[in-house]
A = this chain, B = another copy of it.
Amino acid sequence: MDYADFQKKINLSKYDLCREVYRENRNSIRVKKEYKVVKNLERIFSATLRISNRKGFQAMSMRNLSREANMSMGALYSYFASKEELLAMLQNQRRAVTKRILDERIAQESEPAARLRAAIRTHLYLSEVMQAWFYFSYMEAKNLSKKEQDLAVASELYTEKLLADILNQGQIQGAFELRDPQLTASVIKAMLQDWYLKRSKYAKRRVSVDQYARFVLQFVEAFILDH
């Protein structure tokens, strides 16, 4: 399973993601024609991520967004009631997709070594498909409302716990040998995050996501299989 296979199997086009957002927010969105909502939500979210990742969500004014999304201020406000609600729509949906796919793909494996590989590869591939959002979510977390912050932290810890559980299970079954599963999970997480946080550095050096995945797996396995 490499990145190309992953992309084929998992359907995650921008429009699919926006269609899900629309269906979950039918009540609050005043515009009613699905094709139009999906098209405009895609513009809005893309522009939001583009501007925010350049200079920060709070520094993005609604006028910026209106210009970048090619919509008037009035039009924007028929898709959400406030800047904060725009954010919540985006966050909820992306978080849900991430969790769903991560859970699915880990559950397909039963051996600890295979589960660990699935977790690492899937996380890297997800962050490759939705790089802009992963980056946004990490960098903006602390600037958002208390509620959004808590959700972000919970989502962080959930991923870390997925890894820690696999490591613990592997240790019990004798597949891995390691001293501190919790700390090991933390630093694996740090390596996974580096992939989407330093995207342009890796792009410049022509490191592909598959190369990075192989490298991280080797690095981790040298630690948990050997000493």
Which residues of chain A have a CB within 8 Å of any CB of chain B? 53-56, 58-59, 139, 142-143, 180, 182-184, 186-187, 189-191, 193-194, 198, 201-202, 205, 207, 212, 215-216, 218-219, 222-223, 226-227
Taking the full assembly, how many copies of this chain does it contain? 2
* A56: B residues at CB distance < 8 A: 56, 58, 142-143
Which residue of chain B lies nearest to A160 when distances are taken between CB atoms in the complex? B201
Contact check, A187 vs B219: say whether CB atoms are below 8 A apart.
yes
A176 nearest CB across to chain B (Å): 12
* A186: B residues at CB distance < 8 A: 194, 198, 201-202
A53 nearest CB across to chain B (Å): 7
Give Cα distance in the complex from A182 to B142, angstroms: 31
* A215: B residues at CB distance < 8 A: 180, 183, 187
Give Cα distance in the complex from A54 to B146, angstroms: 11
Give Cα distance in the complex from A33 to B205, angstroms: 50
Q: Point out the residue from B59, B180, B194, B201 that lies within 8 Å of A58, measured CB to CB.
A: B59
Give Cα distance in the complex from A187 to B195, angstroms: 9
Which residue of chain B lies nearest to A224 when distances are taken between CB atoms in the complex? B222
A36 nearest CB across to chain B (Å): 33
Contact check, B183 vs A194: say whether CB atoms are below 8 A apart.
no
* A58: B residues at CB distance < 8 A: 55-56, 58-59
